[in-house]
Amino acid sequence: MASAYRHLTPLISCLTLLCIAIPVAAMQPPPARQSKASSEISLRPAYDACVSGGGTTTAAVLRCAYDEFTFQNERLNVAYKTLMSRMEGTEKTSLRNEERKWLADKKQRCALHEDSGTTDQIVAADCEVTETARRAAELEMRLKK
């Protein structure tokens, strides 16, 4: 069962910092926050507000990322399960394999390196959020077809 949650390791690592309140002075959000990309992948406005100034400590920003990740992951799971319920046989196998590949790719893209600093942890958490939201949006678009 633990392997089913292995893709959350980077986010869980980031959340360990919730016990530490290290100020992040003038932290600028990733470029995707400053464009309409957030609305295209359906990030909630509260997350954008939080990471662009609402959270002044690493712990606060990571808490925002955790809350948004939880929301986006649920969104993704609902879309995935709905798609799977509409498919049969090889289509299900294909979607399952595609999802496994996406999870592995996301894990690699959002990975924290051994010598990661505070900013890297925020970037990794944001990566988990945006990649999950992007995948949820992609699966939701398939549901509309």
* pLDDT, position 130: 96
Question: Tokens 């893209």 label which residue?
Answer: 109
Q: Average pLDDT by consecutive 10-residue portion of the chain (145 residues)?
A: 49 44 37 49 88 77 94 97 95 96 97 89 94 96 90
Closest to 75 in 3D by CA, of 129, 122, 111, 37: 129
* pLDDT, position 56: 72
Q: Into how many domains does the chain fold?
A: 1
* pLDDT, position 9: 52
- Residue 101 CB partners (closer than 8 Å, separation 6+): none
Q: Which domain holds residue 89?
A: 2-143
* pLDDT, position 114: 86
Cβ atoms of 81 and 89 closer than 8 Å: no
* pLDDT, position 136: 97
* pLDDT, position 55: 57
DSSP single-letter state for residue 3: G
* pLDDT, position 13: 52
Q: How far is CA 26 from the centre of its chain?
A: 23
